[in-house]
Every structure is written in structure tokens, then in C-alpha cells.
Structure 1
């Protein structure tokens, strides 16, 4: 009499699923994983001090575009504040002033603000360079289509979480 094949087939199927599950878990760990705060695998992330030791009086970034009118300009300037991760935005559109505040995420390095031309005329994107030198958009400053006012719109909010780490492929 032949031994039954059922236990052999069940064992083979279980081994195949166990192997697939283990490889899927390993792949998940490469992308994102949680670090136990009581037993961190990595050193705690560096953080910038809350206050600046010295604040520059001149703008750290400036964007200027002529409006096409006589002596007309669209100007966006970014100034440091006493708080390390916060900046003041000053806008001037043909003599019409405005301002706003801006906060960058704490990446553990000195913030690197950048002002870039927007996709439409008389527009400027305010952002920063991350630790991989990628431009990250934060706000858009633009003149309305009628040309009688400008607006400041938030594009993205950025946050750094301390107990998660993303690992690239």
C-alpha cells in the first residue's frame, strides 16, 4: 500500500506560503519601518536649535520679475526671523505691499530656502532644498489674472517624523 500524498502536499504548500511571506516582510522592511523609541536602532535625529544666534537683516532669497508696466516690478523676498525654522515673506507688486510667514521642517541641517519662477507670469514658488538636494515646494505667490492683486497660497505642508525612516531603493 502506498503512503497517502495528502500530508506531503500540505507540507509543500505550507513551505511555499511561508517562504513568500518571509520575503514579503523583508521587502516591506527595506521601504519603511518603525523604530522603537525605547530601543532605537538608529541615533536620534539631529535638530536645529529653536532660536537663531544671529538674524540677517538682508533677504536670504529674492525673486524679481518686471510686470511690463513702467517701473513696475513683482518682488518676493525671504527674511530670517529669530526662530530658526521660520521666515518672513515680503511681497511687493507695483507698490502694493504684503507679507506672510513660513515654516520649514527641521531636517537636522541649516534650512536652505529657494525662490523659483512659477508656471505662470508674475508667480514665484517658495520652497527649500532637502538633504538630497531636491526642491520641495511650500507656497506659491502669484498675481491674479486681472492683475489687480496678488495672492499667497500654501502648496504643501512638510513634517519630519522622528520614529520612522524611509530607505530608498
Structure 2
């Protein structure tokens, strides 16, 4: 395996973030019980986070020694943040903002509809079919089977479920 000699766009920033995260995890592991004994509750988390910290430091220092290929922001944007990643980041942001007000069903339907439409390059029939099938499957599994409470929003979900329950209870 040949080691690369040029630094990739965003490599130092990513490795520095990884090192910072490892340092944070080491501190959190230390907060469990300090380093009082090898059998203490924090000993294993401290050992694992210390390995992460050392490995991330080695990777960070190695990447600092590599030569920069240039490219600047355009190289970073094209390799790390291509248009599809940016578009989906905006879709996810919009979904997270609208989830509480619109509710799970409507926000998820709109998110999947727009996302699948974007990926399918505008084929609306297949997009609608996949969206409805996905939302139905997720809803049945999580809301009906596992009884997970999902954000209700503007669709009166509880009233609809109660009406369906009454309908099926009356048909016996």
C-alpha cells in the first residue's frame, strides 16, 4: 500500500476535529471515576479514549507534514461538499425545522417526496409510490407496532387512529 504524499482538501480540519473529539471523550471518561484503579468504572472508557487520542494525534501530525495540493475552497467544495451533499443538508435542515409544527407524517412525507424526487431526477410517479410506501411502513412499524409517540403536528393522528380502532372494534 502506497502512502499518499499530498494532503486532501479538508484533511487537517477533519483530523483536528477528530483529535478534539478524542480529547473531549478522554475528559468525559476521566469524569466517570478518575483513574483511581484499573478496575474502576472509568478505566476501560479511559483506555479506549486514550487510544483514540493517541491515534488521532498521530494522524493529525502526519497530515500536517503532507504537502498541500492547492485548490483552496474550490477543491474542498468539490471533494468534500459536492452539490448533492449541500442539497441534502438543506433538505435535512428544513425537515428538522418543520418536524414539530407539521408533525411526523406530513414533514416526513414532504422530506421523502422532495428527496426521492431529487434523486430520481424528477420521475414523480415512482417518487410518490416510494414515498407513500416508505411513510406507511415506517408509521406502521414505529407508531402502531412499537407505539412510539411521534410529533403529531397538523394532522389529527390520534383522532384518526381512534376512529380506525372504533371502526374495526365495531366490525367484530
Larger radius of gyration: 1
The structure where strand makes up a greater share of residues is 1
The structure where helix makes up a greater share of residues is 2
TM-score, normalising length: structure 1: 0.19
TM-score, normalising length: structure 2: 0.19
